[in-house]
Amino acid sequence: MTFEIKNICCIGAGYVGGPTMSVIADKCPNININVVDKSPERIALWNSSNLELLPIYEPGLDKIIARCRDKNLTFSTKIKEKISAADMIFISVNTPTKTKGIGAGQASDLKWVEACAREVALSAKGHTIVVEKSTLPVKTAEVIKTILEASQPNSNELKKTFDVLSNPEFLAEGSAISDLESPDRVLIGGESNDAIIALSNIYRNWVPTEKILHTNIWSSELSKLTANAFLAQRISSINSISALCESTGADIREVARAIGLDSRIGSKFLNCGPGFGGSCFKKDILNLVYLSRYYNLNEVADFWESVVKLNNWHQHRLSELIIQNLFKTVCGKKICILGFAFKANTNDTRETAAIKICKDLLEEGAFLCINDPKVSKEQIHNDLGLESLKSLTNYSKRDDFFNFEGQWIFEDSIYKAIENSDAVVILTEWDEYKKINWSKVAKIMRKPSWIFDARSILESKEIISHGLLFWRIGDGSLNV
């Protein structure tokens, strides 16, 4: 039996649910798509007439919303109603790492997913295909299925039936729309061939058939964790070698180029940086670690855990390096932080290296002036705690230098953020920072003036020619 999908409901209007449903709506004008979320504030932002207020910044998303919203794409909090009307339901809620109880610090907290499954069990009608879109621990589909199957109505009502599919999302933030429009592959795992075909038919509206892979449900769930673990492992590998480059006089850019030309290794994902962030890498690796320990595969668990350990070490290494170079103390010194997002082209700060590095510097008594073109000051407030009430822009006349308690302020203007600072630290590779006028910077910083480029986006000759002291990640040639 082929299921024809006319109504889709997606639970969770987040970084994954919002862009994914927007692209499906754009590519499938005959399917009605209702995105629901328990947060009225988030839904109001998705519905705002000013497209600059959308809750997620993704290049190209605003244009799709303008084309589809209120035609075949809606955003609301009517969770029950939209579930009832749907032939297919995507579960796209967040699955953070547990902070307490069994598996704390490693296992994913599945309470939202379970709550969604119960809501679907209650409100769904007839036959419904439930699709796991959230990244989930292996075997979650089984839990969802058990909850759904336990929910049968009174005997005189129509029986409910369900199929559960796993369809992990591989989009990267900042390039979500192009990743969704031309994915490397679409993975669909499940037991029911009819349900798999129904979901494949949706993707076939724009994805070539040979890129749509069918697997069993456990392989699909495990592939998502494994893909993220492999990618994160590459970042830890290149970052570990960046430290070795700095000590030996080698240059990580040259090493990355040389190894990347080996077609077995490939050139992508070899940029060293301040350590990986984002909502997925750490969480997914820790899930893999938890799963491996559960199955008594302790060596496997240790192997993957070391990827996260290296990342933590690397982030603290950068804070220490800044402190060392500023005469071993940053107390009362003004440090300008350029970039707070976990990478460019997103306003997302989850697990961003900037949080750890800023906290380290605040702990040492630094005065941080933070700039980011897309992250709001309120978000940084959530991540770091209170913003300083007094603006210390008249920094050179400050008198409480030696007893300074770490403070931060947000500054929209890059040059104001830099003014009077002892150091500039680039943590996100925004284009804006590649165009900074370093001659101007040299005139407005306090001397000696340090530039720390943790993203390797600057040219050393240019910076040094203006009398600035320069450190660039993985560049041992600057130390010899």
Residues in contact with ligand UDX by the rule CB under 6 A: 11-17, 37-39, 42, 92-95, 112, 115-116, 134-135, 169-173, 228, 231, 235, 269-271, 273, 276-281, 283, 342-343
Q: Is 9 a catalytic residue?
A: no
What is the number of alpha carbons within 13 Å of residue 199 lying toward its C-beta?
A: 28
State which residue, 172 or 321, has the beta carbon closest to ligand UDX.
172
Q: Is 169 a catalytic residue?
A: yes
238: left (phi over 0), alpha (psi -120 to 50) or beta: alpha
96 close to 132: Cβ distance less than 8 angstroms: no
- In the complex, minimum distance from the CB of residue 248 to ligand UDX, in angstroms, rounded to a whole number: 21
- Who's near 367: CB < 8 A, 6+ residues apart? 332, 333, 334, 335, 388, 392, 395, 404, 406, 407, 408
Q: Is 280 a catalytic residue?
A: yes
- In the complex, minimum distance from the CB of residue 228 to ligand UDX, in angstroms, rounded to a whole number: 5
State which residue, 112 or 433, has the beta carbon closest to ligand UDX.
112
Would you give the distance in Å from CA 53 to the centre of its chain?
A: 19
State which residue, 16 or 417, has the beta carbon closest to ligand UDX.
16
Distance, CA of 80 to CA of 89 (rounded, Å): 12
Q: Which residues of 49-86 are buried (b: 16+ CB within 10 A; e: fewer)?
A: eeeeebbbbbebbbebbeebbeebbbbbeebeebbbbb
State which residue, 405 or 431, has the beta carbon closest to ligand UDX.
431
- In the complex, minimum distance from the CB of residue 274 to ligand UDX, in angstroms, rounded to a whole number: 7
State which residue, 134 or 407, has the beta carbon closest to ligand UDX.
134
34 close to 71: Cβ distance less than 8 angstroms: no
Report the 10 Å Cβ neighbour count for 91. 25
State which residue, 111 or 398, has the beta carbon closest to ligand UDX.
111
State which residue, 283 or 334, has the beta carbon closest to ligand UDX.
283
The residue number whose beta carbon is nearest to ligand UDX equals 14
Catalytic-labelled residue, pool 280, 336, 358, 369 = 280
Catalytic-labelled residue, pool 58, 119, 132, 169 = 169
Distance, CA of 186 to CA of 322 (rounded, Å): 43
- In the complex, minimum distance from the CB of residue 394 to ligand UDX, in angstroms, rounded to a whole number: 35
- In the complex, minimum distance from the CB of residue 116 to ligand UDX, in angstroms, rounded to a whole number: 6
420: left (phi over 0), alpha (psi -120 to 50) or beta: left
Distance, CA of 345 to CA of 378 (rounded, Å): 18
- In the complex, minimum distance from the CB of residue 301 to ligand UDX, in angstroms, rounded to a whole number: 20
State which residue, 62 or 114, has the beta carbon closest to ligand UDX.
114
Give which of 403, 447, 457, 449 is closest to 427, Cα–Cα. 457
Distance, CA of 19 to CA of 13 (rounded, Å): 9
The two structure tokens encoding residue 197: 């075909």
Catalytic-labelled residue, pool 82, 224, 282, 333 = 224
- In the complex, minimum distance from the CB of residue 55 to ligand UDX, in angstroms, rounded to a whole number: 8
Distance, CA of 143 to CA of 204 (rounded, Å): 29
DSSP state of 478: G
- In the complex, minimum distance from the CB of residue 278 to ligand UDX, in angstroms, rounded to a whole number: 3
User: 187 forms bridges with which residues in the sheet?
Assistant: 213
- In the complex, minimum distance from the CB of residue 200 to ligand UDX, in angstroms, rounded to a whole number: 20
What ranges in 175-297 are assigned the alpha helix state H? 176-181, 193-203, 217-248, 252-260, 281-294
State which residue, 244 or 444, has the beta carbon closest to ligand UDX.
244
Residue 201: Cβ-neighbour burial (10 angstroms; 0-12, 13-18, 19+) = middle
Q: What is the DSSP string of 380-440?
A: HHHHH-PPPSS---SGGG-S-GGGPPPEEEE-SSHHHHHTT-SEEEE-S--HHHHT--HHH
56 close to 15: Cβ distance less than 8 angstroms: yes
- Who's near 480: CB < 8 A, 6+ residues apart? 249
Q: Where would I find the beta strands (DSSP E) of 6-112?
A: 7-11, 32-36, 73-76, 88-91
Give me the active site residues, please: 169, 224, 280
